[in-house]
Chain A
Amino acid sequence: MSATRIWSLLLMAFLSAPLVIIFGSAVSRTGYMSFPPSSFTLRWILEFLTSAEWLGVLGISLVLAILAALASTIASVGAGLYVTRRLRWGKGAVELAILLPLIFPHAALAVAIFSVVRELNLIGTFAGILIAHVIVTLPFAYRPISTSLSKLDPSIEEAAMSLRAPPWTTFRKVTLPRLRPGIVTAMLFSTIISFDELSVTMFLVGPNFTTLPAKIFSEVQDNASPLVAAVASFLVIATAMVILVVKKFFGLQFFVDPEH
């Protein structure tokens, strides 16, 4: 066994340790703060699966993630088309503006978004958090779409137009099908990012409205019940399933460099 192999196995153990522990805590009868773990129970997992409160927040986070991903993907397709097809100069400036949230540290970005949501009087509302998530996910949607667009040969569109296809038909029948890989990547990444987002969201939640990561965060801080471990285990399994679906359709290379 080579040294790099042992080192790699150690790192994998380090990376999986917290996930394994979460599973252990979710099925341990005495809760998670004790060692060695005692007998096995499914009580906490059942409690999560029958809790209207937790399932409601899970639903909110899912709807939020899908809406944010749709909005930032649609905006990215429009912006991508404009930048690659129409813009003669200032391309770099427009792209820099779109990618701007990536170069700011999260805490700074959060203050900026907080100020906007507060001025719109939307703190602690679905709409306020949706606005924040669209801003945060935009760069992740834009990059794969602009890569797809730059690989697309504009002469095919010109051919369609010269055959008198109206612009909207050309877009629907010629451009859109070729953009599909970019759009799928954009949707997937922005959905995941929005679903997990906490650094910005935690400034915006209120007593009447919260998201799943924000709820887990406040539960862990207040009272650490094994129920939280059950919710967390569910999220780990759900994530693993998403990865396996992506692997089936695109291969895992997708995650290493999504733009190729």
Chain B
Amino acid sequence: MRDRSKGMRSLVIMLPVGLILLGLFWGLVNVVVGSFMSNDVPSLTLYADFFSRASSLETLWRTIWMALLTAGICAIIAYPVAYFIARHAKRRDLWVFFIILPWLVSLVVRTFGWIVLLGNSGIVNGMLRSSGLIDAPLPLMFNMGGVITGLVHVLCPFMLLSILSVFFHLDKSLEEASMSLRAGPLLTFWKVTLPLTMPGVMSGFIIVYLVATGAIVTPLMLGGIRDAVLGTRIYHEVTNMFNFPAASSMAVILSLVAFAVVLPLQWIERYISRNIHKIET
């Protein structure tokens, strides 16, 4: 009797999440099954089509380098800022506020801001022209440069917050110990601070890469017609071509592209974190 009511309660508390996960798995199964079907018969036609077309392969490579470049740029520009905020900034709250505000403002609003800034008659070109530096407007938008600018803007706060959170938990005495053993500030940074904060950079890299590979809105708004990436191709297949199977096969390829980078990085990050933990205890 007691056991049965316990079982009932387990069922009740797991029911909502069970329904949600049922929906998710149903969708994932649809995608995987759909991608291996052609005219209701199991086949590899969709994958063969994708990998035999030069334009598809180009899209695939563009997606990968766009995401890697975005994540790399974010890491390089965010690290010094996180270091500064954690170690030297006086009004830390104010700095953090100016990271969080753009981070939480809707993606479409921020991308819209970039359209205004980067357009041919936009602010950047306007300023450059009125200062006489250029005669004709620079093509800042509707190309991959515009897409990368937008993606770095959208995703840089993730990197910053990820590195910052590691810095905030870092025991300063380790750096002080290194300094007291007469390692200079540069050597201390190189041998102590940087390795200890690497897990933050890596988890930031993982998030940025993952979101960038699956990006649709930014490439659609800031990219040119020829700058298709997997995200925009998938959107196009579903909403304009009504070709769900083709979109499914691209979704599977996109997921594999993401996992191929994310999973190894996650293992390395865990390995490093565990070793750091060993040193600290």
Contact = CB atoms under 8 A, between A and B. Distances in A.
Q: Is the interface of A mostly helix, strand, loop or mixed?
A: helix
Contacts of A78: 12-17
B17 A138 contact: yes
A221 B217 CA distance: 11
Interface in B89-125: 89, 93, 95-117, 119, 121-123, 125
Given A103-B210, A105-B231, A232-B113, A114 B21 contact: no
B216 A202 contact: yes
A116 B15 contact: no
A257 interface: yes
Given A15-B153, A111-B31, A111-B238, A72 B214 contact: no
Looking at B14, B24, B31, which has the most chain A CB atoms within 10 Å of its CB?
B24
Given A105-B210, A107-B231, A242 B117 contact: no
Contact of B24 (A4, A77, A101, A105): A101
A22 B165 CA distance: 30
B51 interface: no
A33 B116 CA distance: 6
B102 A105 contact: no
B110 A18 contact: yes
Given A4-B88, A21-B123, A109 B116 contact: no
Looking at A81, A203, A256, which has the most chain B CB atoms within 10 Å of its CB?
A256
Contacts of A111: 27, 31, 234, 238, 244, 247-248, 251
Interface stretch (A40-48, A152-160, A192-200): A192-200
B34 interface: yes
Contacts of B169: 257
A239 B104 contact: yes
Contacts of A5: 84, 88
A75 B24 CA distance: 14
B251 A107 contact: yes
Nearest to B7: A86
A125 to B, nearest CB: 15
Given A112-B28, A252-B100, A18 B106 contact: no
A220 B221 CA distance: 9
Classify chain A's interface size.
35 or more
B116 A256 contact: no
Contacts of A113: 23-24, 27
A245 interface: no
Contacts of A21: 113, 116-117, 123
A19 B234 contact: no
Nearest to B104: A239
A252 B96 contact: yes
Interface in A1-30: 2-5, 7-8, 11-12, 14-19, 21-22, 25
Interface string A116-147: 10110000000000010011001000000000
A107 B59 CA distance: 14
A115 B244 CA distance: 8
A250 interface: no
B217 A217 contact: yes
Contacts of A105: 210-211, 213-214, 231, 254-255, 257-258
B277 to A, nearest CB: 16
B116 A18 contact: yes
Interface string A235-256: 1100110110001000111011
B117 A18 contact: yes
A69 interface: no
Contacts of B258: 103-105, 108
A221 B161 CA distance: 31
A217 to B, nearest CB: 5
B47 interface: no
B72 interface: no
Contacts of B217: 198-199, 202, 217
A33 B122 contact: yes
Contacts of A116: 23, 26-27, 30
Interface string A21-62: 110010000001111100000000000000000000000000
B104 A243 contact: yes
28 contacts: A8-B85, A11-B156, A15-B99, A18-B110, A18-B113, A19-B105, A22-B113, A71-B20, A74-B16, A98-B21, A100-B24, A104-B214, A107-B234, A107-B251, A108-B31, A108-B214, A110-B216, A112-B251, A131-B23, A192-B104, A199-B215, A199-B216, A202-B235, A221-B221, A228-B112, A240-B101, A242-B104, A257-B165
